[in-house]
Amino acid sequence: MHFSNFQNNKTMKKFILFLIVILIIIFPTIITQPYILHIMIMVFIYAILGGAWNILSGYAGQVSLGNAMFFGLGAYASSVLWLFYNINPWIGMIIGGLFAVAFGIFLGMPVFRLRRQYLAIATIAASQIIMTIFLNWEYVKGASGLALPLMPNSLKHMTFLYGKNGFYFISLAILIFFTFVVFVITKTKLGYYFRTIKEEEDSARSIGINTTQYKLVAISITAFFSAIAGTVYAQYFLYIDPNMVFSLRVSFLIVLISAFGGTATIFGPILGACVLIPINEMARMFFGGAGRGIDLFSFGILILVVAIYRPAGLVSLFYGKEKLAIRENLPGKDGKVDGENENIES
Amino acid sequence: MERLMAKMKILKVSKLTKKFAGLVANNSIDLEVEKGIILGLIGPNGAGKTTLFNCISGVYSIDKGNIFFEDRDITNSSPDQVCKLGMTRTFQVVKSVENMSVLDYVMSGAFCRTWNTAKAKKIALDILNFVGFGLYERRDYLAKELTLLNKKALQIASTLATKPKILLLDEAMAGLTKNEQQNAIKLIIKIRDSGITLIVVEHVMEIIMTIADRVVVLNSGIKIADDTPEKVSKDPQVIRAYLGA
């Protein structure tokens, strides 16, 4: 694949991005097959989840393999509030997000003492503990799950029983908003601090970065948006059980999406979701129960291919050459820079 | 000499003791640093110089004693708190960031004092210009693409970007050639002249003797001398410590 013709052309790139956004917005009016729209909704939800993972693990470098816990907590929080307390899902979505943030901070304070693989293992353990609790918790109906009430179609109750357009636009709007938030983060102090923490923690501390505090900020952002995706997911299916939202399969899928598309990039997780989620959904539709594992099997092959040919992720297809061009033209690459080793005026 | 007189003490260390499982790395060390000087900290291998740095900058918690920075008790503060107050350090072994560009890394330092990205960028560019060593021209390089000299300069640049009042340099010149050392010395003096107090740990004696206003000598965790370079170099205890006579 070659994208070199618009690589050095920023306006062209912006125009194409704009075109893609317009296309996605008018998409449901052109294609009305519910099953394709369903795939798109899942792509949007998983793009949010992958992007949220990317904040904590891609930018700040604290690899979590248990992100499904935030997703599930968000789904359960809004569902329980809606079902038992009659609190509107939109408000439940925010409360669920804040609840996930609180949980993330509670979890982060001890586990951020761990680094690298030990942190990853701790997050797996935490997500499994949460899942076991929910499987055995009478109040949330344990393994049999929660069925949400069927309400008439309305945006107010985040319920769209007929057609997929409602959830298509809700998840798309959240994805666009989230992408904007990530963009702002990368351009400001937070983004710079996250990247420094990822690189070297001792240096980070010596230049005034409270590493623990900023890791907690990172996990808060991750938890909040994962939980919001959880609420949308729960409202979309109107049914959740612990295996749907808390299982390791979800956690790993989130990581795969981000790693496949490109970690620490804005569009990487979106691209990853665009490729992996359709495979995931189609495998389920074509093979049903008989093809269990076909999706994971194909992910394995794709990840291998990407790891060999594009270790920085699929998104590097689009910017790879541009960055290389900068690298080649760096001043002083092959010789001395002006003023090098000359006397410094004292 | 006039630098030493009638100057405010920016850093005071009293009776600082640090033990590692029975080994006393720093034994009851007293230290006073006047504003605006270069304090040389020397001693044979294992004298406890780096340990003292780590204690002062908050990397280690100390067992006994107190540290005062501008009359504020900073004993057992964390490195980032110490940095926000205005004291920063570099590391002996270059703790290198790898995949961040020179400019981005120095900007992270500048964010210590501001939330504004444009302002941080301006501070970073000014600092890169100030530090020299071709870092300004190489601002788009990734840190891992730099030479050792440039990596060390980058470390100094990122710490300077936090606008410190006192800068602790841990063997900033180890591994450099003679020519590079001369340029590094000029940079250190330039930093001092811009109003920043420096504590410099160095192995190379000639360097310390030429730049330091005052020299503190450590041996086996104990302070054995604290005077001007000329007097210290004639101190029999110091000569014994270095030559083992």
pLDDT digits (tens, 9 = 90+) for A264-310: 888 899 999 999 999 888 887 777 766 677 778 888 888 888 888 88
d(CA A194, CA A62): 10
Of A189, A204, A340, the CB nearest to B134: A340
Of B95, B140, B162, the CB nearest to A200: B95
Look at A308-312, B15-19, B52-56, B91-95 and tell me which has the smallest mean pLDDT. Answer: B91-95
For chain A, how many structural domains are there in total? 1
Does the beta-carbon distance from A330 to B134 stay under 8 Å? Answer: no
Chain length of chain A: 346
Mean pLDDT, chain B, integer: 86
How many residue contacts between A and B have a Cβ separation below 8 Å? 110
* Cα A166–Cα A170–Cα A171 angle in degrees, nearest 5: 120
Mutate to test the interface with A, among B91, B105, B108 (most CBs of A within 10 A): B108
Does the beta-carbon distance from A207 to B83 stay under 8 Å? Answer: yes
Mean pLDDT, chain A, integer: 85
What CA dihedral angle connects A277, A283, A286 and A290, to 10 degrees?
-150
Give the model's confidence band at A174: pLDDT under 50 very low, under 70 low, under 90 confident, else very high.
very high
Residue A2 domain-assigned (yes or no): no
pLDDT at A325 over 70: no
A185 touches B: beta carbon within 8 Å = no
Higher pLDDT, residue B138 or A292: B138
d(CA A46, CA A98): 20
Q: What SS3 class is residue B42?
A: strand
Which tokens go with A52?
A: 């949220």
d(CA A6, CA A190): 30
CB A147 within 8 A of CB A239: yes
Q: Which residues contact A187 (CB under 8 A, 6 or more apart)?
A: B117
Of B98, B112, B120, the CB nearest to A199: B98
Q: What is the pTM of this model?
A: 0.87
d(CA A140, CA A128): 17
Mean per-residue pLDDT for A129-155?
86
Sign of the torsion angle spanned by Cα atoms A218, A224, A229, A234: positive
pLDDT of residue A339: 46
Q: What SS3 class is residue B26?
A: strand
pLDDT digits (tens, 9 = 90+) for A237-251: 999 999 889 989 899
Residue A190 domain-assigned (yes or no): yes
Contacts of B161 in chain A (CB under 8 A): 207
Does the beta-carbon distance from B95 to A203 stay under 8 Å? Answer: yes
pLDDT at A342 over 50: no
The full DSSP string for A193-237 is HHHHHHH-HHHHHHTT--HHHHHHHHHHHHHHHHHHHHHHHHHHH
CB B109 within 8 A of CB B161: yes
d(CA A132, CA A164): 32
Does the beta-carbon distance from A206 to B88 stay under 8 Å? Answer: yes
CB A96 within 8 A of CB A228: yes
Mean per-residue pLDDT for B130-140?
87
Radius of gyration over every alpha carbon of chain A, rounded to an integer in angstroms: 22
Backbone angles phi, psi at A42, to 5 degrees: -65, -35
pLDDT of residue A24: 86
- Closest CA in chain A for residue B106: A207
Here the contacts of B146-152 (C-beta below 8 Å, separation 24 or greater) are: B146/B102, B148/B94, B148/B175, B148/B176, B149/B176, B149/B180, B151/B94, B151/B96, B152/B90, B152/B94, B152/B176, B152/B184
d(CA B130, CA B140): 17
* Minimum distance, in Å, between the CA of residue B137 and any CA atom of chain A: 6
Quote the ipTM score.
0.88
A186 touches B: beta carbon within 8 Å = no
Sign of the torsion angle spanned by Cα atoms A82, A86, A90, A91: negative
A189 touches B: beta carbon within 8 Å = yes
pLDDT of residue A343: 44
Write down all domains in chain B, each with its CATH number in brackets: 1-86+168-245 (3.40.50.300), 89-163 (no CATH)
What distance separates the 2 farthest-apart alpha carbons in chain B?
Answer: 58
Backbone angles phi, psi at B205, to 5 degrees: -65, -40
pLDDT digits (tens, 9 = 90+) for B34-69: 888 999 988 888 888 888 988 998 888 888 888 998
Residue A153 domain-assigned (yes or no): yes
Give the model's confidence band at A98: pLDDT under 50 very low, under 70 low, under 90 confident, else very high.
very high
Does the beta-carbon distance from B107 to A188 stay under 8 Å? Answer: no
Does the beta-carbon distance from B95 to A202 stay under 8 Å? Answer: yes
Contacts of A339 in chain B (CB under 8 A): 132, 134
Mean per-residue pLDDT for B72-97?
86
Residue A64 domain-assigned (yes or no): yes
CB A199 within 8 A of CB B121: no
pLDDT at B129 over 50: yes
Angle between helices A211-237 and A89-111 (to 10 degrees): 140
Does the beta-carbon distance from A195 to B100 stay under 8 Å? Answer: yes
Does the beta-carbon distance from A203 to B84 stay under 8 Å? Answer: no
pLDDT at B103 over 50: yes
Backbone angles phi, psi at A336, to 5 degrees: -80, 145
Which tokens go with A72?
A: 């599930």
Q: How many CB atoms lie within 10 A of CB A215?
A: 24
Contacts of B57 in chain A (CB under 8 A): 206
Q: How many CB atoms lie within 10 A of CB A336?
A: 11
pLDDT of residue B222: 86
d(CA A314, CA A268): 7
pLDDT digits (tens, 9 = 90+) for B168-203: 998 888 778 888 888 888 899 999 999 999 999 887
Q: How many CB atoms lie within 10 A of CB A292?
A: 12
Alpha helices in chain A (DSSP H): 10-30, 34-53, 68-84, 89-111, 116-136, 165-187, 189-199, 201-206, 211-237, 242-245, 248-261, 268-287, 294-309, 316-328
Contacts of A188 in chain B (CB under 8 A): 115, 117
Give the model's confidence band at B76: pLDDT under 50 very low, under 70 low, under 90 confident, else very high.
confident
Give the model's confidence band at A2: pLDDT under 50 very low, under 70 low, under 90 confident, else very high.
very low
CB B105 within 8 A of CB B170: no
- Parent domain of A176: 37-247
* Minimum distance, in Å, between the CA of residue B79 and any CA atom of chain A: 6
Which tokens go with A201?
A: 């923690």
Residue A216 domain-assigned (yes or no): yes
Does the beta-carbon distance from A189 to B83 stay under 8 Å? Answer: no
Does the beta-carbon distance from B158 to A207 stay under 8 Å? Answer: yes
Does the beta-carbon distance from A206 to B138 stay under 8 Å? Answer: no
Residue A178 domain-assigned (yes or no): yes
Give the model's confidence band at A331: pLDDT under 50 very low, under 70 low, under 90 confident, else very high.
low
Give the model's confidence band at A327: pLDDT under 50 very low, under 70 low, under 90 confident, else very high.
low
Of B105, B108, B190, the CB nearest to A346: B190
Percentage of chain A beyond pLDDT 90 is: 46
Contacts of B115 in chain A (CB under 8 A): 188-189
Residue A5 domain-assigned (yes or no): no
pLDDT at B86 over 50: yes
pLDDT of residue B170: 87
* Minimum distance, in Å, between the CA of residue A299 and any CA atom of chain B: 28
Which H helix or E strand runs over B104? helix B102-110
pLDDT of residue B208: 84
How distant, in Å, are the alpha carbons of A15, A18, A48, A270, B38 from that of A173? 20, 15, 11, 14, 58
pLDDT of residue A341: 47
pLDDT of residue B122: 92
pLDDT of residue A345: 39
